[in-house]
Amino acid sequence: MDFKDIIKQLADKVCQMKDGILTEEATKNAFIMPFINALGYDVFNPLEVIPEMDCDLVKKKGEKIDYAIIKDGQPIMLIECKHWKQDLSLHDTQLKRYFVASKAKFGVLTNGIKYLFYTDLISQNIMDEKPFFELDLTDLRDFQIEELKKFHKSYFDVDDILSSASELKYSSELKTLLAKEFAEPAPEFVKYFTKQVYDGVVTAKV
């Protein structure tokens, strides 16, 4: 079974089981650990995946990330987990703290259905405000699976991912902006396109 089939199979499982998943711990076991496994990492091997890894800051002790993906003895990706019903936008501050305290280049915030991938494109070692890549297992696109494949153990390359991270981040923001404009177009947006097809003076009536 290839990577695409594995992810789609997991997506089907999520859709079928989510209503019976009542806790954050159950979300981890049923959805997130299989997702980590799908990326080629053994969740039961502490040399590859460390659960509850310390991410202490100078003034705040006892901070732990749910999972840290390890390569050559160093964390390369932090994964902060929430229950599948939780709104992820309310929890990115926690991941930001962990990101600063570790040497990992990528942070993932997830509820087992949505996965938000962050890095530090703007300021080194400071997690960006917006994710550069978003994945929703209930609304998968083939190009998203191809991007996700870059995080697989067999293909993981920091420089390769970072080279496309900026493009992904801004293309995603542009798509969101365009969708908003098509739904509720601003006068400037309407005027710009009207000028391309209308020969006369572009008035509000036109």
Q: pLDDT (tens digit, 9 = 90+) per residue, 174-194? A: 877 888 888 888 888 888 888
Q: Report CA-CA distances (Å) from 159 to 124, 128, 147, 172.
A: 14, 17, 14, 20
Percent of the chain exceeding pLDDT 90 equals: 45
Instruction: For the chain, give every domain's residue range.
Output: 3-165
Across residues 34-50, what is the average pLDDT? Answer: 95
Write the Ramachandran bin of 75: left for phi over 0, alpha for psi from -120 to 50, otherwise beta: beta
**pLDDT for 154 beyond 80:** yes
Across residues 81-108, what is the average pLDDT? Answer: 84
What mean pLDDT, rounded, does the chain reach? 87
Instruction: Give pLDDT, residue 185.
Output: 87
Instruction: Give pLDDT, residue 58.
Output: 45
Our separate counts of H helices and E strands in the chain read 7, 6
Pick the CATH number of 3-165 from 3.40.50.20, 3.30.460.80, 3.90.1570.30, 3.10.20.30: 3.90.1570.30
What is the Cα–Cα distance from 35 to 203, expressed in whole angstroms? 54
Query: Which tens digits make up the pLDDT trace of 51-90?
Result: 988 765 545 566 788 899 999 888 999 999 999 988 887 7
Instruction: Give pLDDT, residue 32.
Output: 96
Instruction: Give pLDDT, residue 57.
Output: 54
Query: Which tens digits make up the pLDDT trace of 133-148?
Result: 999 999 999 989 999 9
Q: Work out the angle at residue 32's Cα, subtended by the Cα atoms of residues 31 and 35, and round it to the nearest 5 degrees.
A: 90
Across residues 24-45, what is the average pLDDT? Answer: 95
What is the Cα–Cα distance from 137 to 34, expressed in whole angstroms? 13
| Spatial CA neighbour of 121 closest among 158, 82, 84 | 158
Instruction: Give pLDDT, residue 96.
Output: 83
